[in-house]
Chain A
Amino acid sequence: MPLNAAGQDIPETVAGRPLRPFQGAFATVPQGRKYGGPLKTCRPGANKVVPSLEEAIRNSGLSDGMTISFHHSFRNGDLLVLKVVEICDRLGIRDLRLYPTALFPCHEGLIPYIEKDVVTRIEGSMNGPVGAFVSQGGKLAEPAVLRSHGGRWRAAECGEVVIDVAFIAAPCSDPHGNANGLFGSNPCGPISFSVIDSWVAEHVIVVTDSLVPYPAIPPEIEQGYVDQVALVDRVGDPTGIVSGTLRVTRSPTQLRIARLAVDAVLAAGLVREGMGFQAGAGGISLAATDFLAREMKRHGVKAAFAIGGVTRFLVDMLREGLVEVILDGQAFDPESITSLREDTRHQIITPGFYADYNSLGCATYMLDFAFLGGTEVDLEFNVNVNTHSDGQLLHGIGGHQDVAAGAKVTVITIPTIRGRIPTIRERVTTVTTPGEVVDLVVTERGVAVNPRRPELAEDLRRAGLPVKSLEELRAEAERLVGEGKSPLFGDEVVAVIQWRDGTVIDVVRKVEGWA
């Protein structure tokens, strides 16, 4: 088996389809033209509104073997995926391929439908139980395919994945199908993940519980792409969008890592007027955002823009004038939805604008620095986001690859030990993001600088920060807990991890034992 540019064994084919091995972060030259949905028309007075989801599904012509797509803007409060699958089961439809942006623990109820072959393939991120289930192998007809946010947009845009029916949970829609996620009785924030689905799908169903008079603004999803507007009692549970904690962590370790991460970007001279940054919603990221805001105030520095996952911490920075513009692809709390409605400096962006490899511009390419997480890092600075050290597939890629590839300085924040598992490994269990796009690894025991960036190491040392090699950090952790056994993988591939350009950076194999 050939090794790809990240040094991973990639089979030549999976389920009869050839895999293109990863060649390097920016090696792929795109070929061909964009894929588009069918040409359609409608007449004045046409009625798109149907009173039930089941009727809309019948109208769509959805049948065995087709691909259906969803966004995950309701995150753990999504109700639509299970509802659609349950109706399909009732209608006797089998062998569906799911193309969600991501699945969450709330989708555990999918497992019985996988077992009875209603759903046989999944191409999308899996956070939690469905991923664990897939890891056991033999459950899906084909291995799952995981893509980054940018990668999923690209795959739909170029026709790598053809969507038969796009289901778009819309907190607010008008009868003609203009839809957004900001208004209505159950707002979830941007639903822009589904914009590409609406452009390319054979059939598009907007699903809403809040039908408003024409025109619904802003039209994140546009009327011209929408076949039907289906009414449901409740489109999703907005309390599920809240990610992690809503207050800054008290964990001393997380705080120390966040503090070191901010000290590192300060030392590197990246905290300056007009900068752009991304910080997520995890415990360390929130704390880092908090420290960063304080340092910006102290140094009198304003950021030109910040990219979310947006929380009220970022919204506060916008209100205080520390950030000029927020580019928002996903809302993580109600405050950020309010801000999206009221503040024109807080803008919705699509994953295409954010991160599409096959495009002439990405917001992530404008980032000066970004704080990202991971489950493991290895001595080559490769980062694993998808699997745990026991081989279980438990997380999606999110924007990890897109941001790491784009930001001038990519900072991975990670404790050296989680539970009692050391996170800095000789080799990561799964390569999600290659070391070539990772610059700093910040732990509670010190900062490791990628040898590709000697000038960064120099800056950090001069500022008195504890610069250590990954080997040293690994040794410190393993002294306390040992290395532990590693899972033994069989040949069966349960998931394919794509790089954002569509090549394969790694595959996840079924765990057969321990060595």
Chain B
Amino acid sequence: MEVLREARCGSEDRSDALVAVRPGPGLRIEVSSKTGPMFAERIREVVEEVLGRYGVAEAEVEVREQGAYDHVIAARLEGALYRAGGGGEAFHRPLEPATPRQGTPRDRLRRTRLYVPGNNARLLAFCDTFGPDCLLLDLEDAVPPEEKDAARFLVRQVLATLEFGDTELWVRINPLDRGGEEDLRVVLGGRPHGVCLPKAETPVEITRLAGLLYELEGRYGLPWRVWVMPIIESPKGVAQAAEIAQASERVVCLAFGAEDYTREVGCSRDWEALLWARSQLVAAAKAAGVQASDTVYAALEDEAGLREEVRRAKALGFDGKGVIHPLQIGPVHEEFAPTPEEVRWAKGVVQAAAEAQAQGKGAATYEGKMVDRPVLERAKRLLALAKVMKLEVGDAS
């Protein structure tokens, strides 16, 4: 590609880099690093690699970095090139994956979905170590309109470079007709496991998203089917939740977003006011055989309040909750764990059912109550959950 005009991308914040590109003649790279001469050469190599990948032969590149990692510098350079040349197909190619990654089962644990702003290099720097069930790199609300392009490249680099262990990787894209489609074309090149669609209101949006995913998976050679998590955050969305959940096989979870819902309905953001929407959403999800994930808890300092809300959400049937700080992950995971009493009950039920079957009895009872199929299945699911969470279950499972 050709650098047509001067452009810059990034910032001089900690862990970030500000990259400027200008039209040639010739190739000139200037690096100023917070660490002095320690990494200047390495940064130059990163720049040359990216320029090579985009076939840029003539440009003046200036990098001012404040402790940015290699992949951040690469992303900022991609952003600057994008702005300097007007985009094009070159920006839609998948990145070489740095580490192997597997697809994820549709019913895996999704107790937490952690939102991380997609254009914040400092917060993204260690996002591979936070350990939520789902990491959600956000291109939507957390990114101002003029930085959407920069965030796409940063998110793609983060996805392609870091190794996330057991964490499932999600990107919250923008609504499809407001940049979401371009989001997909870039970030799918980083191999996420799933895509969150904000403000989902109709099943049509989901089928359109599914179609795009199908096309891009093939083109980028993605070895798994990309999951979809619609975020229901409007009264219209709540009203259509069942249809949305059933719109595609790719939907694995419905997420609730209370902020916009509260605003549109004009209700308060307390438990009672949102109870109907929550219940509706859980029922719609379960009717489609998918999970339900509750809205975020905004009061960061209030761990007791967070735990209380998780207990209530769990009681309604939610499988997970949105979190906005890694500090919230531990408490949420703990609250979703089966209690010792639940585990004891589940073990008793499973055992009673096994004995009844061995004796050829049709119906089992446990503690004076009949154990029918739904009860047995609930008990089995609890034990499976306890096992995944490494709780002491014994041999009954």
Give per-residue flags for B60-103: 1 if the beta carbon is below 8 A from chain A beta carbons, else 0: 00000111111100000000000000000000000000100000
CB distance from B98 to the nearest CB of A (A): 7
The residue on B at minimum CB distance from A415 is B126
Complex alpha-carbon distance, A484 and B33, angstroms: 12
By the criterion CB–CB under 8 Å, are B38 and A444 in contact? no
Q: Name which residue of chain A comes closest to B14, CB basis.
A: A419
Question: Are B70 and A256 neighbours in the complex by a CB distance under 8 Å?
Answer: no
CB <8 Å contact, A419 and B34: yes
Q: Considering the complex, give the chain A residue whose CB is closest to the CB of B33.
A: A420
Q: Are A482 and B37 in contact (CB under 8 A)?
A: no
| A185 CB within 8 Å of chain B | no
- With A and B bound together, what is the CA distance between A419 and B14 in angstroms? 8
Q: Which of B319-361 contact A (CB under 8 A)?
A: 325-327, 330
Indicate whether A420 sits within 8 Å of B129 (C-beta atoms), given known contacts A389-B38, A390-B38, A484-B35.
no
- Within the complex, which residue of A418, A419, A480 is in contact with B70, where a contact is CB–CB below 8 Å? A480
Contact of B36 among A253, A256, A390, A480 (CB under 8 A): A390
Q: Counting CB contacts under 8 A, is B39 at the interface?
A: yes
The closest CB in chain B to the CB of A486 belongs to B38
Neighbour of A484 across the interface among B39, B68, B326, CB < 8 A: B39
Whether B208 is near chain A, meaning CB under 8 Å from some CB there, is no
A488 to chain B minimum Cβ distance, whole angstroms, is: 11
Q: In the complex, what residues of A have CB within 8 A of residue B34's CB?
A: 419-420
> Are A255 and B129 closer than 8 Å at their CB atoms?
no
Range for the number of chain B residues in contact with chain A: 20 to 34
In the complex, the answer to whether A255 meets B161 with C-beta atoms within 8 Å is no
Given A420-B65, A479-B98, A480-B69: A252 and B326 interface contact (C-beta under 8 Å): yes
- Which residues of B are found within 8 Å of A417, using beta-carbon distances? 69, 125
Q: Tell me if B39 and A252 are in contact (CB < 8 A).
A: no
A19 contacts the other chain (Cβ, under 8 Å)?
no
By beta carbon, the residue of chain B nearest A479 is B98
Q: Is the Cβ of B35 less than 8 Å from the Cβ of A421? A: yes
B126 touches A252 (CB 8 A): yes
Quick check: is B42 within 8 A (CB to CB) of the other chain? yes
Majority-rule SS of B interface residues: loop
Closest-CB distance, B164 to chain A (whole angstroms): 12
Measured CA separation A420–B67 after assembly (Å): 4
Q: In the bound complex, what is the Cα–Cα distance between A464 and B131 (angstroms)?
A: 14
Q: Which of B129, B326, B327 has the most CB of A within 10 A?
A: B129
Contact of B38 among A250, A480, A485 (CB under 8 A): A485
Q: Could you tell me the distance in whole angstroms from the C-beta of A294 to the nearest C-beta in chain B?
A: 10
Minimum CB–CB distance for B126 against chain A, Å: 5
Contact present for B130 and A252 (CB under 8 Å): yes
Interface residue count on the A side (C-beta < 8 Å) = 25
CB distance from B96 to the nearest CB of A (A): 14
Q: What 0/1 pattern do residues 249 to 293 of A give for CB contact below 8 A with B?
A: 010110110010000000000000000000000000000000000
A481 at the interface (CB under 8 A from B): yes
Is A482 a contact of B129 with CB atoms below 8 Å?
no
Residues of B within 8 A of A485 (CB): 37-39, 41
Q: What is the bound-complex CA distance between A256 and B125, given in angstroms? A: 14
- For residue A514, CB closer than 8 A to chain B, the reply is yes
Instruction: Compute how far the CA of A64 lies from the CA of B125 in the bound complex, rounded to whole angstroms.
Output: 53
* Contact residue among A418, A419, A480 (Cβ-Cβ distance under 8 Å from B71): A480
- Name which residue of chain B comes closest to A514, CB basis: B37
Interface string of A236-260 (1 = CB under 8 A from B): 0000000000000010110110010
Further 6 A-B residue pairs, CB within 8 A, beyond A252-B130, A390-B38: A250-B327, A255-B326, A417-B69, A420-B68, A421-B67, A484-B35
Q: Can you identify 26 A-B contacts, CB atoms within 8 angstroms?
A: A252-B130, A252-B326, A253-B129, A255-B326, A256-B126, A256-B130, A256-B326, A389-B38, A390-B38, A417-B69, A419-B14, A419-B66, A420-B15, A420-B34, A420-B35, A420-B68, A444-B126, A464-B390, A479-B98, A480-B162, A484-B38, A484-B39, A485-B37, A485-B38, A485-B41, A514-B37
Q: Which 7 pairs show the lowest CB-CB distances between chains A and B?
A: A419-B67, A252-B326, A484-B38, A482-B42, A444-B129, A420-B67, A253-B126
| B interface, CB within 8 angstroms of A | 14-15, 33-39, 41-42, 65-71, 98, 123, 125-126, 129-130, 161-163, 300, 325-327, 330, 390
